[in-house]
Structure 1
Amino acid sequence: MNYTTIVFTHLITVCAAFLLGTTMLVLKKGTPLHRMLGRSYLLLMLFTAGTALALPAQLGPTVLGHFGPIHLLCIVVAYSVPKGWLAARRGDWQTHRKVMVRLYVLALVVAGLFTLAPGRLIHSWVF
């Protein structure tokens, strides 16, 4: 896959995850719809993190000439998705809620704000 394809795939999945995540925050919890959308959201987050790993860091220091600090959020996703899902399966709603809100804030809101930094592709598109 070429760079442009990966960027657009990442952008599509992250936008879909953001819309689903935002919807999940306002919907009634525990309903069949919540569970169905939640599974889709978690799969989108994993896929989004996977595409992020394929994109080289463009700013700051790198490891192995590819991975930068922003890639640490992929670890957050890889940890949070199963932790939140397992918490829900156990009925531990407090942990599930805490993990899912942190996932949304860190992996979508904070990462989204980082894309607006000068030197990043989205910054060049927006500004």
Structure 2
Amino acid sequence: MQLTPLIAVHMTAAIAAIAIGPVALWARRGHAASLPGRQRPRLHRAAGYAWVTLMLATAISAIFIRDFRLPNIAGYTPIHLLVPLVFGSLFFSFRFLQRGELNAHRRVMVWLYVSACLVAGAFTLVPERYLGNLLWHQWLGLV
């Protein structure tokens, strides 16, 4: 697979989401025991909306990236299962937020960051994938 504009957009959004996610999680509002009327920190909100936007860009662009070399169905590999997972998680996360269920919102967002950014990001380093090929073959000269 070669670097196309679509893959470049997908990869840029994903890498940026991996980088900004910890900022949003670190700058969170606080614990459930905090005062209910307390204002959210601007950094948490700004980083959170940026992260959500990047995750949507990553998921939407992934719909159009297909790989017929790996095990697939019509070009969609198992990693594409993260697309509905991202949409569903974001929906429920904002629903929890709207209802004031901050602990549930926090759990969903942390889980989504770990599963969709860290775990999926690790799978992109498999030698047959674009980033894996770049890392293992071209940069490190190993595999």
User: SS at 2:126's partner residue?
Assistant: coil
Runs of 4+ residues deviating >2 angstroms: 57-61
User: SS at 1:46's partner residue?
Assistant: helix
Query: What stretches of structure 1 of length at least 5 have no aligned partner?
Result: none
User: SS at 2:76's partner residue?
Assistant: coil
Q: How many residues of Structure 1 are paired with residues of Structure 2 in the alignment?
A: 125
Whether 2:70 is the aligned partner of 1:42: answer no
**Alpha-carbon separation, structure 2, partners of 1:101 and 1:58:** 32
Could you say which residue in structure 1 is the equivalent of 2:111? 102
Could you say which residue in structure 1 is the equivalent of 2:124? 115
Could you say which residue in structure 1 is the equivalent of 2:141? none
**Alpha-carbon separation, structure 2, partners of 1:27 and 1:57:** 37
Alignment of 1:8-47 (within 5 A): 8-29=8-29, 30-47=40-57
**Alpha-carbon separation, structure 2, partners of 1:58 and 1:15:** 24
Counterpart of 2:99, as a letter, is R
The structure with the greater share of residues assigned to helix is 1
Counterpart of 1:34, as a letter, is H
Q: Aligned match of 1:82 in 91, 98, 104? A: 91
**The structure with more radius of gyration:** 2
Residue 37 (structure 1) shift? 1.9
**Alpha-carbon separation, structure 1, partners of 2:67 and 2:116:** 16
Could you say which residue in structure 1 is the equivalent of 2:81? 72
Task: Report the RMSD for the aligned CA atoms in angstroms.
Answer: 1.7
Query: What stretches of structure 2 of length at least 5 have no aligned partner?
Result: 30-39, 137-143
**Alpha-carbon separation, structure 1, partners of 2:56 and 2:103:** 22
**Alpha-carbon separation, structure 1, partners of 2:28 and 2:97:** 15
User: What is the identity percentage for the equivalent residue pairs of Structure 1 and Structure 2?
Assistant: 34
